[in-house]
Structure 1
């Protein structure tokens, strides 16, 4: 697991909390910000997964 995966997961959790709090308070801006954070976290997680895939491919081709 890459650092980006961890940061992405944390960002998704933070975004979900913001979304839920925004809904509970009737604060649309906070709710939308939470959804945006979730999306950003998903992208960050995907970048981490891509990095892992590239590293694995490089390691496989480097084997004798």
Structure 2
């Protein structure tokens, strides 16, 4: 797991908390902030997933060329 994956998951968690807090306090701005944080967290996690895949692919190719 790389840092983008970890930070993405953390951002998604913060977003869920903000979304829930916004719903409980009837604060639509905070709810929207939570939704946005979740989307950004998901995007960052996916970017990390892609980097991890690329790293694994490079390792596999290096094994097969030697």
TM range, smaller chain: over 0.9
- What's the RMSD between the two structures over aligned residues? 0.5
- What is the distance in 2 between the residues matched to 1:5 and 1:57? 17
Structure 1, unpaired ranges of 5+: none
Q: How many aligned positions are there?
A: 64
What is residue 4 of structure 2 aligned with on the other side?
4
What TM-score results when the alignment is normalised by the length of structure 2?
Answer: 0.94
TM-score by length of 1: 0.97
Q: Could you list the structure 1 runs, at least 4 aligned residues long, displaced by more than 4 angstroms after superposition.
A: none
| Greater radius of gyration (CA) | 2
